[in-house]
Structure 1
Amino acid sequence: MSAESNLASPIHHRRADIQGLRAVAVLAVVIHHAWAGLLPGGFVGVDVFFVLSGFLITGILMRELDQRQFSLTGFYKRRIRRLFPALFPVLAFSMICGLILLSPTALTELALTQFFTNLFVSNLAFIRISGYFDPDAALRPLLHTWSLGVEEQFYLLFPPLLLAVHRFARRLLWPVLLILALVSLYVAQDYVANDPVKAFYHPFARAVELLIGALCVGVVRYVRPRQPMRQVLSWLGFAAIAVSLLVLSDTTPFPGLWALMPCLGTAAMLVATGGQANRLLEARPLVVVGDMSYSLYLWHWPLLVYGHLAFGLSPWVTATAVVLSFGLAWVSRRYVEEPWLDGRIKPVWWPALAATTASILICVVVYNLNGVPQRFAAPEQALFAAAQNYNPDRDRCHKRSNGTLPYAETCRYGAAGSAPAVAIWSDSIGAELAPVLGRALGERGQALRSITASGCPAEVSDRTDNCGDHNRQIMAAITADPDLRTVILMAHYVGHAADPTSGMPDTMLAAADQLRKAGKQVVIILPIPSYDFDPPSEAGLALRFGRDPESLGMARADHDRATGAVASHIRAFAAPRGITVVDPADLFCDAARCRIYEPNRGLLYFDGTHPSLAGAQLFVPGLMAVLQDAP
C-alpha cells in the first residue's frame, strides 16, 4: 500500500480530500488490526488505497504520455523513491525483533516472507504458506506487505500497457481498461468461490480495484460531473465507505463483488471534487495522517505483533503499540521519506540495490540456519517444537479445502487386518485424535477410520461446494458400511459460528440424527478450549523470560461464556436421542482455569485451535470407556 500522491505535484498543490481519504483508509486498517470489534470492516482500507493509487498514478502517466514525457525508467525510479526508504527500516526492525522473540519455526518463515518482500512478491508467497494449519497471523510481522506486492506487480505491467494502447489505439484506451477491470472482477469472484486465500492475495483478483481508480481519471477528464451531481456523489461515496467499514467483516466473502462497495465509494469521492463530504476530509489532522499513511501502515503491524508476543494481549500493550506506530510513522515521514521524495538524496539505483541485497543475504542466512534455534535453551526449544506435534499423516490422510478424499481412501489406524468399527468424522480439529485413539483401539484388536477435512465438519446440508459433495459421499458410505458401528463427531464450533452463513451446529446435529437412525452409535465432542495466541510460541517465550508455562491459558469462565450456548444446544439435542456427549473442558480445565501445558504431557496444542498429539491423548480414557459399552 503506497502513496503516490506525493509525486503528483508539490505538497501545496495536492488534493487535501485525497490525503483525508488516505487517512481514513490507514486509520481503518490500524483500528481493525488493533481492535477488530470496533471496526469489523476496517480491512477495506487497503482497497480504498488501491483505488487511490490507481487514480493518482494513472493521472501522472496520462499527463506524461500526453506531453510525450513518459519514461519507464523515470516511473520505476519514482517508485523506488516512494517505497524503498520507509520499507527497509521496518524490515530491519522486524528481523531484529524476530531474532529476539520468534520461535525457530516462526523466524524461518519470517526470513522466507522477508526474502519475498524484498522482491515485492510476498503476496504470492502468502498464497502458498497461508494454509489452515500454518502459524497464526499473529506470528507474521510482514503479513501486511502483501498489498505492496499486489501494487508493484500491477505497476510492472500497467505502464507498458498504457503506453502501447495510448500510442497505437488511443481511442480504445478507456474501453480497454474497463474490459480489463471486468475480467479482473470475474477472476476475483471465481477465486472467492473456489480459493479464498488466492482471492485475497492474487494480483489478478485485486487489479479491478486499481483499474477503478484508473477509470476515474477518464471520468474526471471527459465527463466532469456538474456541481449538484458532485454533491450527491460525494455523500454517496462517503456513505459507501462508512457502511463498508461497519458492516463488512472477516467472514464476508472478499474481495469479489463485496469489494465494489468501498471501491466504488472511493471512486465517487474522487470524481466529486468540491463535494461537501470531500471537504470534511480536508481537515488538517486528517491531511497530516494522510501524509504519513504509508509509514504508519508499514509500522503498525510489526509493532502489534511483537508487542503482543513480548508483553501479552493486554489492551495497554495494544494501545502502546498504536501510539508508537504514529510516532515512528512521523519520524519516518519527516526524516526518511521526505529527503528522498523531494530530491535531497540524489542516488537511487545503487542504494536500492545495496539495501535489497543486504536484506536478502540476511534472510538466506537465517533461513538456512533453520531460524537459529541456538538462541534458546533446550527446554525452550522443546516447547517451540510442539508446533510440529501434529498428526504426521496429515498430508496423506487429511482432506484440504479444495481437494477430495473418497471414503475408501480415508486412513485407518489400529489393528492390521481389522475392519474399522469406529470413525472420527470432523473438520481439522479431529485429525490428531484419530491416530491416538486408533493406537489405543489397536491394542484391543480394533481399528478406526479417520475422516477429516479442513473447514468441513460433518453436516447434512444443501451446500453445493466441495464440502457439501464430500459430506454427501461420506454419509452414504458410512451408512452403507456394516462394519462401522460408532461415529465420533467433533468440530471447531467457534470458528464456524463466526460465519453467518454457517448452519453449525444444527447441520452437524442433523448428520448425527441421520447416523443414529441408520443404527450407528454417535458420540459428539463439545467445543475444545481455543486461544487467540500461538501456544508453542507463548510457552517457549514464557519460559525464556522466567514465567511458568503452566500459568498460561484462560479462565474456565471465559471458555464457558464463549461456548456455553453451543454446548447447551448440543446437550439438549443429544439427551433424548441417546447420543453420548463428551465435554473437553472436563479434560483441559479445572474449576478455575483451562490450560495449554501439563508438566507430565507437555503442550496440549500445536496452535491456538488444534490439540497436539499430547492434547489428543486426554480424550482416550473416556472414549475407550464409551466404546467399551458400544453395541
Structure 2
Amino acid sequence: MTFRKDINGLRAWAVTLVVLFHFDIPIFSGGFIGVDVFFVISGFLMAGILTKKLENSSAWTLPKEIINFYIARARRILPALLALCTVTIISGWFYLSPAQYNALADQVLTTLGFYSNNFFLDQNGYFETSSNQKLLLHTWSLSVEWQFYIMLPLLMSAVWFFRKNRRWQLLATCTAGVTSLIYCIYLANSEPDAAFYSTFSRAWEMLAGSLVYFLTSQNQRKIKGLETAGFLMIIFSAILLNSSSAWPGIITIFPVLAAAMIIYSKSNSYWTSGKLIQHIGERSYSIYLWHWPLAVSIRLINPQNLTLATILGVLLTLVFAEISYSLIERRARTAFLPSKRNLAFLISLAPIFFVASLGLIIQRADGYPNRFPAKASDLAKYKFSLNEYRDGQCFMRPEQTYKAFYNCSDLRGSTARTILLWGDSHAAHLYPGILKNLPEDKNITQFTASGCPPLIGVTIDDRKNCRDINSFVADWIIKNQPGEVILSARWSKYNWESLRYTLEFLQAKGVKKITVFGPAPIWNRVLTDILLKNSLFNDTSLPEREKNHLINDNETEEGISKITQEYGVNFVSVREILCTDQGCMTHLNTKNGPVPTAWDTAHLSSEASSYLIVHSRIFD
C-alpha cells in the first residue's frame, strides 16, 4: 500500500500513549488504548494489502500470494523481536532469579510461536507472578495480530471465491466484526481476562480498520473536523480511563471509532505531519518492543529515585529503539527471509531456531540456579506445591463454587474436638503447619478459597462465588457446631471491619474458642528473588532478617487486634512471631538446606507455617 504519513503519525500517538502508561505517567492513566489504536491500523493495512492481492491474482497464483503475505509479516515482525528475546535472555542471566529466568524462557518460546496471548491468559491465576514482572508480557498483542493475520486471508479469500467484489468483502467484514464485538462484550462480563487476551474478542477492533478500508474511496467526501474529533476522543480516553476500567468492553468502541475516524479522514494535518511525530511513527514498532522490558526492569530493581529511573527508562527506550530500527528493522526488509534466494531464506531461519534453542536450554536447566552462591543456590531450588493447600479440594480456585469442597472434614470424634480453618489463601497457608502439629485428640476441617475472606455477607467483586462459599461455611457451622474456629486472611485487601459480624455469628452459635491470625509479612517482591539478587552482589551468607523490602501493614495489624480484644477472642500476631525491629525472618535452616519463610510475596512456606503454629501456642 502507498505510504500514508497520517497513519504513520497515528502510530506515533499510539506508541507514545502506551509508553507513558507503562512508565506510570499519571495524566495518561488510560494510555493502554494505544494498543487498540494499533489494532485498527493493522486491520486497515492488512485489508488493503490482501484486497490488492485478491484482485490481481488468479485461483492458481493466490495461494502463493497468501504465503508471500505471511512471509512479509514475519519479515516485519521477527527480526527486532528476535533481538529483543536475545537481549533479555543475556541480561536475565545476570539479574533474574532461577524462577524468573525459567519464566522468561517460557515467554520467549510462546512469543516466537505467536501464542503468548493464550500463554499469559493461562498464567493469569491467583498465585501467578505479577504482570509487572513478566518481561515479554507486551508480546500478547503481537500474537493477537499474528493470529488475525492468519485468519483474515482465509476469510477474505473465501468471500472472494463466492463473490468477486468489494461489497461482499464489506458485508463479511461487518458481519464478522459485529459478531466479535458481541462476543467481546459477553466475555468482558463473564471472563474479563479471556476477553483481554483472546483474538476472537479483539478481532472486531482490527476488523473496524478493515471496514474503513472498504468504505474508503478515491473520491470520498472530506468531512471537516473528523480527524480533530478523532484525536480529541483518543486524548480524552487516555486521560479519563484507567487500569480499573473494564477493558475491552463496550467503552472500547470510543478509541476504536476515533482511530477509524482519523484513518478515514485521510488528513495530513498538524496532528500527524510534524517531523518528530513522523520520526516516532517510523520507530513505533521498536519503541513498543523495547519499552516494556525496560519498565519491568525498573520495577525489579526497585530504585530509590523512581522519577530519575523512569526518565532514564524512557531515554533508554528511545536509544534501544533507534538501534533496533536502524540496524535491524531497515536492513531486515531485504535481508531477512528473502523470497527469491532459497539458501538465504533457509539461513534466515537460523536465528529463530537459535533463540528458541536458548529458551529450551534454560527450561531444561530449570533457570540455572547454580549461577548463585552455594547457599543461595540451595534456596533457589525450593519448590512449593499448591497440593499442600489441598488445592481444588479444600482450597477453592477463583472459578470454583462451594460444591467443589471434597473430603475436607474429619468428624470421627466429637464435634467439640473439631477445629475449623476458614478464610482465604492466608488461611490455607496455615494448613500444613496445623496438620503437622495437630494434637491427636483434635480433628481439622478446612474450608478455604482464594481471595475469599471469612466475612459473612460480604461480596468480593473479583470472586463472584465468595459470598455463597461463606454462606455454605456458616450453614456447616450451624449444623456441625465445631468447638474451635481459626480465621485468617490477607485482611488488608478487604473491608476487615466486617470481621465483627463473623465474630458475632460464631459467638451466637456457641463456638467455644475463636482464634484470629493477624497479617503475615508482605514483601514487595518474591522473597527468594530478593535474597537471590542480594547474593549476586554480596557473596555472603543469607541475611536472617530483612526489612527494606517489607510493605507496611501496621494499620491492619492494629485494627484486627483491637476487634479481637472487643470480642474477647484469641489474636495471633504473625508479625510478632516472625519479625523484630531488625526485620522479618527470611529463611529457616533445615536438614535439607535453607527454606524461605515465604514462597512468593506473602504466603508462608510449609516449614514457616509449622514454625508459626508451634510458636503461636494455639494448641497449648
What is the SS of the residue equivalent to 1:280?
coil
- Whether the aligned pair in 2 keeps the contact of 1:406 and 1:473 (CA below 8 Å) is no
Deviation, 1:605, is 1.7
Structure 1 residue aligned with 2:234 = 241
Code of the aligned partner of 2:270: R
8 Å contact kept, 1:554–1:594: no
Closer, same or farther in 2 for the Cα pair 1:345/1:421, shift >3 Å?
closer
Of residues 150, 165, 180, the one that matches 2:144 is 150
Distance 1:72 1:478, change over 3 A: same
Partner of residue 109 from structure 2, selected from 107, 115, 120: 115
Distance 2:84 2:348 in 1: 15
Q: State the partner residue of 1:432.
A: 429
- Is residue 287 of structure 2 the alignment partner of residue 287 of structure 1? no
Match of 1:537 in 2: 529
Give the CA deviation at 1:161.
Answer: 0.7
Deviation, structure 1 residue 523: 4.1
Cα offsets for 1:2-24 (capped at 9, x unmatched): xxxxxx43xxx4223x3333223
Separation in structure 1 between the aligned mates of residue 375 and residue 144 of structure 2, nearest angstrom:
41
Equivalent pairs: percent with the same residue? 28
Q: Does 2:165 match 1:175?
A: no
In the TM superposition, 1:173-572 aligns within 5 A as: 173-221=169-217, 224=220, 226-228=222-224, 231=225, 233-274=226-267, 279-306=270-297, 308-309=299-300, 312=303, 314-315=305-306, 316-341=308-333, 343=334, 347=338, 349-386=345-382, 388=384, 392-395=388-391, 396-406=393-403, 409=406, 411=408, 421-440=418-437, 442-443=438-439, 445-459=441-455, 460-461=457-458, 465-491=464-490, 493-494=492-493, 504-505=495-496, 509-520=500-511, 522-546=514-538, 549-550=543-544, 552-554=546-548, 559-560=552-553, 564=555, 566=556, 570=560
Q: CA deviation at 1:254?
A: 2.5
Aligned AA (2:421): I
The aligned counterpart of 2:156 is 162
Q: Which amino acid aligns with 1:540?
A: L
2:433 and 2:611 in contact (8 A); partners too: no
Task: Kindly state the Cα deviation for residue 543 of structure 1 after the two structures are TM-superposed.
Answer: 1.3
Query: Which is further off, 18-27 or 574-583?
Result: 574-583
> Given the two structures, how large is their TM-score scaled by the length of structure 2?
0.85
The alignment of Structure 1 onto Structure 2 pairs a total of residues equal to: 596
Q: 1:383 and 1:156, CA in 2 relative to 1: closer, same or farther beyond 3 A?
A: same
Instruction: Specify whether residues 388 and 360 from structure 1 end up closer, same or farther in structure 2 by C-alpha distance, changes over 3 A only.
Output: same
User: 1:588: Cα distance to partner?
Assistant: 4.4
SS at structure 2 position matched to 1:263? helix
Q: CA deviation at 1:540?
A: 1.1
Asked whether the equivalents of residues 520 and 575 of structure 2 are also in contact (C-alpha less than 8 Å), the reply is yes
Q: Measure, in 1, the Cα distance between the counterparts of 2:336 and 2:387.
A: 54
Per-residue CA shift, 1:82-109, capped at 9, x if unaligned?
1011111111111112333323232222
For residue 452 of structure 1, give the secondary structure of its aligned residue in structure 2: strand
Residue range with higher mean Cα deviation, 383-392 or 349-358? 383-392
TM-superposed deviation, 1:433: 1.1
- Post-superposition shift, 1:574? 5.1
What residue identity is the alignment partner of 2:111?
T
**1:52 corresponds to which of 22, 38, 41:** 41
C-alpha distance in structure 2 between counterparts of 1:269 and 1:142, whole Å: 30
Are 1:74 and 2:73 an aligned pair? no
**More helix per residue:** 1
* Residues 581/209 of structure 1: CA separation in 2 closer, same or farther (3 Å cut): farther
Closer, same or farther: CA 444–100 of 1 in aligned 2, 3 Å = same
Alignment of 1:570-585 (within 5 A): 570=560, 575-585=565-575
Deviation for aligned residue 1:453:
1.6
Query: Distance in 2 between the 1:408 and 1:251 partners?
Result: 31
- Name the CA distance, whole Å, in 2 between partners of 1:508 and 1:377: 45
> 2 CA distance for matches of 1:360 and 1:331?
23
- Whether the aligned pair in 1 keeps the contact of 2:454 and 2:487 (CA below 8 Å) is no
Quick one: which amino acid aligns to residue 204 of structure 2?
V
